[in-house]
């Protein structure tokens, strides 16, 4: 192992040797299992469609949905779109796949905000805890530059988020496979997009859905990392990062009339606003603009962390 690899290994060891990290994973696992159980009990999901009968099954479903709609006013919206989806299959003569592990994974996209949350907690502690434990003094008196130590810590945080993300994907898939079975290795389904209904690959949806959310994850983790390094206080870092993550959109809407609103970080974290025919939050914003703004924020976060970590004295308490 090279010198730098060993540093990253050290950081990951310190992370995964602690029980609190495993509690996070257990929590994630329980939540995924819970979603699986609930979906299994209450979802009226057709598990599979037979080659020769799927047309009748869909038509029967449509009939049920229409009667439901007449009885319950509030079901109108959702049932209409379900009927439209079914009609799309019928009109285009596509045999639908039943609900399976891949779709379960796709729907668990929301869990990525939990991954963000856990990554923030880890990022917030990785520098501040060393100061709290006093171990920072023993780390910094090694023949290693402070820049390298900081970089190893940051990369370890990214590894943590990657591992956690993989855990969510894998565990969701396993739970999905147990409860709903695996329909095919690369299923496609009809989804409602801005441009209308579209027949898309579930796999592609998973990648783009999780991918777009990764932007927020990385930005907020880097933000927490910065606060942790500058103020050497993990609680403050967790608090501000989670608070901003939750109210980020409200902040943007509060200032939306101002000319500088488009420079707010949270106006740019959702890159999905430029795809699938969506309209950008503020007129005139483009993908290129948002990516530039994100890079600038990212660079500033890292630069501040670096300056404070390498230049400041490690004094007593």
Partner 1 sequence: MSETAMELMDVKKRIGKKEIIKGLSFTINKGEIFGLIGPNGAGKTTTIRMMVGLMQLSNGDVKILGKSIKTNYKEAIREVGAIVENPEMYPFMTGAQNLAHYARMIPGISKKRVQEVVRIVGLEKAMKEKVGKYSLGMRQRLGIAQALLHKPSILILDEPTNGLDPAGIREIRMYIRRLATEQNVAVIISSHLLSEIELMCDRIGIIKNGELVALQQVNEKADQNNLNQIQMEVTPVERAIELLKAHHGIHAVQVEESLSFQSEKENIPSLVQTFVQNDVSVFQVEVTKSTLEDKFFDLIGENTIG
Burial of residue 58 (CB within 10 Å: 0-12, 13-18, 19+) is buried
Q: How far is the CB of 30 from partner 1 (least distance, A)?
A: 23
182, two tokens: 């695996």
* Start-end of H helices in the chain: 3-16, 19-42, 54-71, 76-92, 101-107, 112-133, 136-140, 146-180, 202-231, 234-254, 265-268, 287-311
Q: Which residue has the tokens 């299994």?
A: 40
State yes or no: residue 177 binds partner 1 (CB under 8 A): no
314 is a contact residue toward partner 1 (CB under 8 A): yes
Site size toward partner 1 (CB under 8 A) is 26
The stretch among 9-17, 154-162, 183-191, 253-261 that binds partner 1 (CB under 8 A) is 9-17
Tokens of 235: 């609680």
Residues 6+ away with beta carbon under 8 Å from 130: 136, 139
Say whether residue 306 binds partner 1 (CB under 8 A).
no
**CA pair distance 307, 317, nearest whole angstrom:** 20
41 binds partner 1 (CB under 8 A): no
**Is residue 174 within the footprint of partner 1 (CB under 8 A)?**
no
Contacts for 128 with CB less than 8 Å, ≥ 6 apart: 228, 229, 231, 232, 233, 234, 237
Interface map 131-170 toward partner 1 (x if CB under 8 A)? --xxx-xxxxxxxxx-------------------------
Q: Choose which of 7, 32, 124, 261 interacts with partner 1 (CB under 8 A).
A: 7
Question: What are the C-alpha distances in Å from 302 to residues 54, 88, 139, 227, 267?
Answer: 55, 48, 20, 10, 20
> Least separation, in Å, of the C-beta of 153 and partner 1?
13
**In the window 96-135, what residues touch partner 1 (CB under 8 A)?**
133-135
Task: Tell me if 254 contacts partner 1 by CB under 8 A.
Answer: no
Q: Tell me: does residue 63 bind partner 1 (CB under 8 A).
A: no
- 307 touches partner 1 (CB under 8 A): no
> Quick check: 12 binds partner 1 (CB under 8 A)?
no
| Residue 18 binds to partner 1 (criterion: CB under 8 A) | yes
Cβ neighbours for 70, distance < 8 A, ≥ 6 positions apart:
none
Q: Does 22 bind partner 1 (CB under 8 A)?
A: no
Q: How far is CA 213 from CA 8, 120, 162, 172, 285, in A?
A: 25, 14, 13, 17, 19
The yes or no reply on residue 31 touching partner 1 (CB under 8 A) is: no
Distance CA 182, CA 169 (A): 14
The DSSP bridge partners found for residue 201 are 188
23 touches partner 1 (CB under 8 A): no
Of 6-14, 101-109, 112-120, 251-259, the segment contacting partner 1 by CB under 8 A is 6-14
Q: Does 272 bind partner 1 (CB under 8 A)?
A: no
**Closest separation in Å from C-beta 136 to partner 1:** 9
**Residues recorded for the chain:** 317
Q: Which stretch binds partner 1 (CB under 8 A): 1-9, 104-112, 198-206, 262-270?
A: 1-9
The nearer residue to partner 1, 55 or 142, going by C-beta atoms, is 142
Which residues are CB-contacts of 114 (< 8 A; sequence separation ≥ 6)? Answer: 28, 31, 168
Q: Closer to partner 1 by CB, 152 or 164: give it.
A: 152
| Per CB under 8 A, 255 contacts partner 1 | no
User: Which residues of the chain form contacts with partner 1 (CB under 8 A)?
Assistant: 3, 6-7, 9-10, 13-14, 17-19, 133-135, 137-145, 313-316
């Amino acid at each position: 192992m090279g010198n730098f690899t060993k540093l990253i290994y050290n950081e990951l060891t310190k992370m995964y040797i602690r029980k609190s990290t495993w509690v996070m994973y257990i929590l994630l696992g329980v939540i995924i299992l819970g979603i699986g159980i609930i979906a299994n009990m209450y979802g009226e999901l057709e598990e599979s469609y037979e080659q020769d009968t799927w047309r009748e099954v869909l038509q029967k479903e449509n009939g049920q949905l229409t009667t439901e709609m007449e009885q319950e006013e509030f079901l109108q919206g959702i049932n209409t779109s379900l009927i439209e989806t079914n009609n799309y299959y019928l009109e285009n003569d596509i045999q639908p796949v039943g609900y399976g592990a891949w779709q379960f994974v796709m729907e668990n996209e929301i869990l990525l905000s939990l991954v963000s949350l856990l990554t923030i907690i880890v990022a917030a502690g990785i520098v501040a805890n060393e100061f709290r434990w006093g171990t920072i003094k023993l780390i910094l008196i090694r023949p290693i530059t402070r820049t390298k130590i900081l970089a190893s810590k940051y990369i370890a945080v990214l590894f943590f988020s990657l591992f956690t993300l993989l855990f969510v994907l894998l565990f969701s898939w396993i739970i999905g496979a147990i409860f709903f079975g695996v329909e095919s290795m690369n299923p496609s389904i009809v989804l409602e997009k801005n441009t209308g209904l579209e027949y898309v690959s579930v796999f592609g949806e998973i990648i783009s859905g999780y991918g777009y959310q990764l932007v927020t994850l990385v930005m907020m983790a880097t933000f927490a990392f910065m606060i942790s390094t500058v103020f050497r206080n993990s609680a403050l870092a967790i608090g501000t990062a989670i608070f901003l993550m939750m109210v980020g959109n409200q902040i943007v809407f509060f200032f939306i009339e101002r000319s500088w609103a488009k420079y707010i970080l949270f106006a740019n974290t959702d890159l999905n606003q430029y795809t699938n025919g969506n309209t950008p939050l503020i007129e005139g914003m483009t993908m290129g603009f948002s990516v530039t703004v994100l890079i600038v924020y990212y660079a500033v976060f890292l630069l501040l962390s670096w300056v404070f970590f390498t230049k400041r004295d490690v004094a007593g308490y």
